[in-house]
């Protein structure tokens, strides 16, 4: 009897093991296209960028033997999760994928990406801006081509700033920004919001000239020096002041419904964010139409300086199928290098990464953005906003490097630094804890670490 009870209990509890151990078998199921007998190739492309699907028609018309299927496998980290998942499972991976510059070194290190230097891409160096070209030329190869770029700029709601009596075009230094933030706060709005965003942190320290991360040429040694870098400290101290004095909104997480509404009604008055923002503003804050403007980023010393935020490359997933790679390269070239392909995407709101477009009057003189229904909006009140953004692109500081496991590092940022925004933890303590975690991860992954 006793044995019977125990046995039943044991079997019952064993049954749970299954459901726990079964987690982790969630593999991607997008079909990898393949070359069929009639010479037709179907390419599966993972991208969340809304301008990519618009290139398919033009490309397929010029290349009748190639069919392109765009799949939105999630934005940024969600796509990377799905991609890692599919690569580890050995099936379900796409043929091409949109990968942000910060994540590319990681996937190159893991051996997921196809080197396209010998397909002709190695001669494109002068075509792209130096920053974006450096982001895709890694370990002596070319592992994707720049799709767009995201120089940081200051987008602001002029109505709110007028009410507070602040002219952002005259706000050059971080100190002046701090004073402006106080005046904005006095009207009831916040100058901006941040509740702990790793990408923003990286962009701001980069703009300030920090170089916290480095990887040796053999790829085996990483430098992680967030706590010892003066320029990181400069940003942390300034931002801490704004957090402590309740001058920035730390209670609204970015990209949420509440955040969009805050931008829409002016309670969040401005954003320090990438040049890809205009279209997002139009869709997320439609009431801001005509009220917003763009200007250059404030810097610690008031001298022009800039950095990138986001921006993506399009890459080919490593494959032995030569026909497949060649077809994929054709599409890659069309989207990122072909005049027609780039023009299609820029029209739809993409911020280009190539010098030709950045210098072309057609691009610089644009004053309106087109919504999904094809209606043009002078969202920035007639300002030639691309001109301002192109200036920001020229000011981007060279030499900032990402970690070879930046996706992991950014994923962990919130775990340690988040409390500095919602709780009483000091920002510098959060950064220290984050550094410790990245260091132990690097060691665990077999790197030698310099701090």
Binding of another protein at residue 418 (CB under 8 A)?
yes
Torsion of CA 404, 406, 407, 409, to 10 degrees: 120
* Per-position x/- string for 234-273, each x denoting binding to another protein as judged by CB under 8 A, each - no binding: ----------------xxxx-xxxx--xx-----------
Give the nearer residue to another protein in terms of CB position, either 291 or 410.
410
Binding of another protein at residue 80 (CB under 8 A)?
yes
Q: Which of residues 103-162 bind another protein (CB under 8 A)?
A: 109-110
Total binding residues for another protein by CB under 8 A? 60
- Tell me which residue of 111, 141, 148, 62 sits closest to 386, measured CA to CA: 148
Q: Which stretch binds another protein (CB under 8 A): 29-37, 57-65, 328-336, 407-415?
A: 407-415
Pairwise CA distance, residues 173 & 138, whole Å:
34
Chain centroid to CA 269: 22
Shortest Cβ 197–another protein spacing (Å): 9
**CA distances to 61, 336, 369, 386 from 55, in Å:** 10, 10, 18, 22
Pairwise CA distance, residues 421 & 430, whole Å:
10
Q: Pick the binder of another protein from 246, 415, 429, 451 (CB under 8 A).
A: 415
Q: Are 77 and 199 in contact (CB under 8 A)?
A: no
Q: Pick the binder of another protein from 77, 339, 394, 450 (CB under 8 A).
A: 77
Pairwise CA distance, residues 110 & 86, whole Å:
13
Q: Which of residues 34-73 bind another protein (CB under 8 A)?
A: none
Pairwise CA distance, residues 180 & 168, whole Å:
8
Q: Which stretch binds another protein (CB under 8 A): 46-54, 84-92, 200-208, 304-312?
A: 84-92
Burial class of residue 258, CB neighbours in 10 A (0-12, 13-18, 19+): middle
Q: Which stretch binds another protein (CB under 8 A): 81-89, 158-166, 203-211, 284-292?
A: 81-89
Pairwise CA distance, residues 38 & 353, whole Å:
36
Q: Is the dihedral of CA 144, 126, 204, 444 positive or negative?
A: positive
* 3-class SS of residue 396: strand
Shortest Cβ 138–another protein spacing (Å): 14
Shortest Cβ 261–another protein spacing (Å): 5
Q: Which of residues 191-210 bind another protein (CB under 8 A)?
A: 195-196
Q: Pick the binder of another protein from 116, 396, 407, 439 (CB under 8 A).
A: 407
Q: Pick the binder of another protein from 20, 29, 39, 123 (CB under 8 A).
A: 20
Q: Pick the binder of another protein from 3, 5, 118, 322 (CB under 8 A).
A: 5
Q: Enter the DSSP assignment of 20.
A: H
Between strands 137-138 and 448-450, the pairing is unpaired
Binding of another protein at residue 29 (CB under 8 A)?
no
Binding of another protein at residue 217 (CB under 8 A)?
no
Give the nearer residue to another protein in terms of CB position, either 268 or 389.
268
Pairwise CA distance, residues 147 & 337, whole Å:
9
Q: Enter the DSSP assignment of 351.
A: P
Give the nearer residue to another protein in terms of CB position, either 320 or 423.
423
Binding of another protein at residue 18 (CB under 8 A)?
yes
Binding residues vs another protein (CB under 8 A): 5-6, 8-10, 12-14, 16-25, 77, 80-81, 84-85, 88, 109-110, 195-196, 219-220, 250-253, 255-258, 261-262, 404-405, 407-408, 411-415, 417-419, 421-423, 441, 444-447
């Amino acid at each position: 009897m006793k044995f019977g009870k125990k046995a039943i209990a044991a079997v019952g509890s064993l049954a749970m093991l299954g459901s726990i151990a079964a987690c982790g078998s969630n593999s991607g199921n997008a079909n990898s296209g393949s070359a069929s007998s009639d010479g037709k190739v179907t390419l599966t492309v993972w991208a969340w960028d809304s301008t990519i699907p618009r290139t398919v028609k033009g490309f397929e018309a010029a290349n009748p033997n190639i069919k392109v299927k765009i799949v939105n496998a999630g934005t940024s980290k969600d796509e990377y999760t799905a991609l890692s998942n599919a690569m580890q499972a050995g099936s379900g991976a796409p043929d091409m994928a949109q990968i942000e510059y910060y994540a590319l070194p990681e996937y190159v290190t893991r051996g997921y990406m196809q080197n396209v230097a010998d397909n002709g891409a190695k001669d494109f160096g002068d075509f792209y801006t130096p920053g974006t070209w450096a982001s895709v030329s890694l370990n002596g190869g070319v592992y994707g081509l720049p799709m767009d770029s995201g120089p940081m700029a200051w987008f602001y709601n002029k109505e709110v700033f007028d009410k507070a009596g602040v002219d952002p075009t005259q706000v050059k230094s971080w100190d002046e920004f701090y004073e402006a933030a106080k005046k904005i706060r006095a009207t009831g709005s916040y100058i901006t919001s941040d509740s702990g965003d790793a990408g923003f942190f990286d962009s701001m320290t980069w703009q300030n000239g920090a170089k916290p991360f480095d990887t040796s040429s053999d790829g085996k040694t990483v430098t992680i020096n967030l706590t010892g870098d003066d320029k990181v400290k400069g940003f942390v101290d300034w931002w801490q002041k704004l957090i402590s004095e309740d001058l920035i909104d730390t209670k609204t997480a970015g990209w949420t419904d509440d955040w969009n509404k805050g931008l829409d009604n002016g309670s969040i008055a401005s954003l320090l964010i990438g040049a890809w923002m205009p279209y997002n503003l139009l869709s997320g804050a439609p009431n801001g139409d005509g009220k917003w403007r763009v200007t250059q980023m404030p810097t610690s010393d008031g001298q022009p300086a800039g950095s990138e935020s986001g921006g993506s490359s399009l890459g080919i997933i490593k494959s032995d199928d030569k026909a497949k790679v060649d077809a994929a390269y054709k599409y890659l070239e069309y989207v990122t290098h072909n005049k027609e392909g780039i023009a299609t995407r820029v029209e739809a709101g993409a911020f280009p990464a190539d010098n030709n477009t950045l210098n072309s009057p057609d691009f610089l003189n644009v004053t309106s953005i087109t919504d999904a229904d094809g209606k043009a909006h002078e969202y920035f009140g007639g300002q030639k906003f691309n001109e301002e953004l192109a200036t920001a692109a020229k000011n981007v500081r060279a030499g900032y490097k990402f970690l070879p496991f930046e996706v992991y590092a950014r994923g962990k940022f919130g775990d340690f630094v988040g409390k500095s925004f919602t709780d009483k933890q000091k920002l510098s303590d959060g950064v220290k804890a984050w550094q410790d975690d990245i260091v132990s991860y690097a060691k665990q992954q077999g790197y030698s670490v310099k701090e």
